[in-house]
Amino acid sequence: MSPPADIEAALAGKPRRWLVTGAAGFIGSHLVERLLALGHNVVGVDDLSTGHRKNLEQAVAGGGLNAKVRFRFIEGDLSDHAVARAACAESEFVLHQAAVGSVPRSIQDPLRTHRANVDGFASLIEAARLAKVERLVFASSSSVYGDDPRLPKRVGEEGRLLSPYAASKKANEILAQAYAQAYGFPVVGLRYFNVFGPRQDPNGAYAAVIPRWIAALSRGEVCEIFGDGETARDFCYVANVVQANLKAALAAPEAVRGQVFNVAAGGRTTLKVLYASLRDQVATNSPAAAKLEPVFKPFRAGDIRDSHADLSQTAAAIGYAPTHTLREGLVPTVASFLGAKA
């Protein structure tokens, strides 16, 4: 069985039952919308601690004919095993996105990160095993690479972990590998690199840099850059992540069981370059943004200096090929935030 090249062809006309955890979140809601639009049945679970009901409303609205009928929502905490069992009960595929994100937040509140990310995953993977799901795909993170300086980042070349968040994601990978080995459980992890796109929350102390800067620039506020601006990231538009999840769910078992793969755009952009690009785009709607210069603050504890993904293993195993570059993803992202503001 070769990696699926065309998601539509592989899934169209063959409705299946999917569970999306973290369904009210940024990435989870995009997965819900895509699956509903392809005609599938989806259960979403979220404790709404960081997710928003409006994301689910938008996902269902974009989900096509009878989307409301084909979607069911469970509000609950996955670390409660009863919630995890109920969510997995009739699911064929599980796409696990639920987590407490953010490196700085994990440093401020490591116990909350551990409970949501480690206890929650342990509860879910056991529930999925007992329910005999066909595949569990879970979100890991590029933070797992730690302080290893080698570029591009390749699975198997990791350094020392720099934050409790990174440790929680590494713990997920270790447990998944153990389940694959001990039970032959069909689980695969995806290491996300700096995902961005519409519905990403721009508010709060731990908001991701792209939505935070768009919001600040649109209000005429000065943006902060932590470090000297030469820190580089492999920014990945959310549509690429949706593709990777669906292809990982459909890939040949022998190619993915117990493995983890990078998901990114395969580029490297400094924060200075990112800021200039966002400022130019926001200025088309808010001209005053064109004159705004960032202020530079000290590096934050736990931050990785450089990030750039090697995607060769991901392409070979699941047929992943990013459809959106950073620039191609920023256009709809900026438009979505400015439209919401208007």
For residues 249 and 187, what is the distance between their CA atoms, to the nearest angstrom? 9
Please tell me what DSSP assigns to residue 3: P
pLDDT confidence of residue 304 = 81
Kindly state whether residue 206 falls inside one of the protein's structural domains: yes
Write the pLDDT tens digit of every residue in 235-285: 999 999 999 999 999 999 999 999 999 999 999 999 999 999 999 999 999
Q: How many domains does the chain have?
A: 1
Which CATH number fits the domain that encloses residue 81? Answer: 3.40.50.720
pLDDT in tens, 290-340: 999 999 999 988 888 899 999 999 999 999 999 999 999 999 999 999 985
Is 342 inside a domain boundary?
A: no
In a domain, 91, yes or no: yes
Sign for the CA dihedral angle at 103, 107, 109, 112 comes to positive
In a domain, 2, yes or no: no
Residue 1 inside a domain? The answer is no
Q: Which domain holds residue 122?
A: 7-337
Residue 265 lies in a domain: yes
pTM, full prediction: 0.95
| Options 145, 165, 237, 275, the catalytic residue | 165
Q: Catalytic residue at 237?
A: no
Q: Does some domain include residue 137?
A: yes
For the residues of 98-112, what is the DSSP string, one character each? -----HHHHHH-HHH
Per-residue burial over 243-264, b = 16 or more CB atoms within 10 Å of its CB, e = otherwise: bbbbbbbbbeeebbbbbbbbbb
Which tokens sit at 163?
């934050």
